[in-house]
Chain A
Amino acid sequence: MTARTVVTVAALTLREAARRRVLRSLAALTIALLALSAWGFARLDSEFGGLTSGEAKLAAATVLNLVMFGLSLIAALGTAFLAGPTVAGEAESGTALAVLARPIRRSAVLLGKWLGLVIFGGGYVALAGLAQFVIVRVTVGYWPPRPATGLALLAAQATVLLTLGLLLSTVISPMASGVVAVGLFGATWIAGVVGTVGEALDNDSVARIGTVSRMLLPTDGLWRGAMNSFQDPTVLAQAGPGFQGHPFLSQAGLTTAYLGWAALWIALVLALAGAAFQRRDL
């Protein structure tokens, strides 16, 4: 019964994403970004034809990470702004009334929406990311060392943000929940960059900013892990100490403990969202 509700609501959420303008605007944004990056990579190759293979790899990895950041931003913004209206918007408009009067548990509805959004975000990251890899491969002949791991981490990043969006949308208005989720996402990213600068300068208290923010909201930590999977391992050695603290190069991969924390974080926030939704008067 509950499993069927989860699947039904997940399918409904996917259908909503597909039929609303979100998907079209997302597709337009993505195509624009991919086209720009194709043009950029083609220029990189023709303008800097005289680069050594190591330099070319460094340039390709950095620019790839930059473009992937753009894609992850689109995925995160898209899912966060889909997650907001899905609970708060439906409660405000009255759509939720008829649905929740059915013999179903609210937690199953929330889990279904979450699952639908995760599939949507994951699918988007996989498709757009693969398209980007192909562009880089064709233009400059670079292929990331661990593409699947990297894309999975990007999908996990989108999942973290949409879970936060769901929690916020059970307590505040739809638009506010999207804005707050995206604001926190941006703040964590900046804190992460500040932290790496702190690490580069051996300043422990500044470095701690990044560590703490990555624990509070694991988006930036997962993003750094994804970057690490996209860049050739030789790149860091090549880049030398001058590139420490570079926002689009990652110094190290993720630890299992951190991945475990990210999974636990998602489960906790989802459970909290479920509890808040259960108590809510419609």
Chain B
Amino acid sequence: MTGPALEDAQRLLGQLPPPAAAWCSGLRKRYRRQTAVADVSFTVDRGEVVGLLGPNGAGKTTVIKMLLGLVRPDAGDVLLLGRRARDPRARARVGYLPELFRYQPWLTAAEVLALHVRLAGIAVPERERRECLATVGLVDRAGDRVGGFSKGMQQRLGLAVALVARPELVVLDEPTSALDPIGRADVRDLLLSLKERGVAVLLNSHLIGEVERVCDRVVILDKGRVATSGTLAELLGRRELRLRLDGMTAAAEARLAAAGPVTRGGDSFTVALPADPDTTTVPDLVADLVGLGVRVHAVEPGRISLEERLLDILRTGTSEEHK
């Protein structure tokens, strides 16, 4: 390729959107006779927080380890930040907190971070490393040996290790398993701040509430396969509004029907709202009903929780694919 043509090609490449933070296709893994992962494909886009859900033994940790090159897949491809995962450089901007977190007990917390920065091959100044320890609440223990840390403190250190080398993708495998409620809230804040900074996160967690609050999308694994995946809105479907009303008139019923399909049982009305209703939909409806002389006893927004949906999917084995 000649000089100008090469430049053109480079410019074209530069205009392409950056490759996904993580992409895997057709991942399979067998341990002797046991199939751990049968066929898993999904994508984590840049800046996106994706939750990996599923029952014990669904293959979540094995999938994560295959993404990071810790387990060799029997088949399938993995790209991390646009590079093939076989190339160690693919992990240069990836932070990882393993499910089984343990750090060199003979090092201090600050030394563990210094080690990981050196292994990551980037220069992170001392001040930034201390800030990272402060984020996980360990700055006072920076000079203490890890051997004396409690499980929860080691998990906090693990979070700092995952975050210290300025990652563009963070993979967290059960990041709150050893944390107290305050620690869990800290992790949630941390995830939200990563989201704000545009860092992509792949989160494996059993705490569905946590996933529901922070994740843009979820991938549900069951028996080594993707049972379903999609955005929360897609997975949870439509919202509903339950009302108890009396003094209904024809005009009021027409107003209700305008908000969405209505089902009635005595003085109870259930209105199915669109998946992503306007924030003014419910207050406007209530104000209009009151204006039409309807007496409003109760207004209860209903939503299928992720937990209900997850249990439903796992029990019925639904495999409808949302993309």
Contacts and interface: CB of A to CB of B under 8 A. Distances in A.
Interface of A: 1, 4-5, 8, 12, 15-16, 19-20, 93-95, 97-105, 279, 281-282
Nearest to B100: A94
A16 B120 contact: no
Interface of B: 31, 65, 68-72, 88-92, 94, 96-98, 100-104, 106-107, 115-116, 118-121, 158, 161, 165
Contacts of B68: 101
B5 to A, nearest CB: 31
B163 to A, nearest CB: 12
A103 B70 contact: no
Contacts of A5: 119
28 contacts: A4-B118, A4-B121, A5-B119, A12-B104, A15-B106, A16-B104, A19-B106, A20-B106, A93-B100, A94-B102, A95-B104, A97-B96, A97-B98, A98-B96, A98-B97, A98-B101, A99-B116, A100-B69, A101-B70, A101-B91, A101-B94, A102-B116, A102-B120, A279-B72, A281-B31, A281-B65, A281-B70, A282-B71
B106 A16 contact: yes
Nearest to B112: A98
B119 A104 contact: yes
Contacts of B70: 97, 100-101, 281-282
B230 to A, nearest CB: 28
Contact of A103 (B89, B101, B103): B89
List the 8 closest pairs (A to B, CB-CB), nearest first. A94-B100, A97-B98, A19-B106, A102-B119, A101-B96, A103-B92, A94-B102, A281-B71
B98 A94 contact: yes
Nearest to A9: B119
B91 A102 contact: yes
* Interface-central residue, A1, A4, A20, A281, by most chain B CB under 10 Å: A281
Contact of A281 (B72, B97, B116, B119): B72
Contacts of A94: 98, 100-102
A152 to B, nearest CB: 30
Contacts of A101: 68-70, 91, 94, 96, 98
Contacts of A16: 104, 106
B104 A103 contact: no
Nearest to A279: B72
A112 to B, nearest CB: 10
B119 A99 contact: yes
B121 A1 contact: yes
* Interface-central residue, A94, A99, A101, by most chain B CB under 10 Å: A101
A282 B92 contact: no
Given A15-B106, A103-B88, A105-B88, A98 B158 contact: yes
Contacts of A102: 88, 91, 116, 119-120, 165
A5 B120 CA distance: 9
A94 to B, nearest CB: 3
A56 to B, nearest CB: 47
Contact of A93 (B102, B116, B158): B102
A263 B92 CA distance: 35
Nearest to B80: A103
A95 B72 CA distance: 18
Contacts of B119: 5, 8, 99, 102-104
Nearest to B101: A94
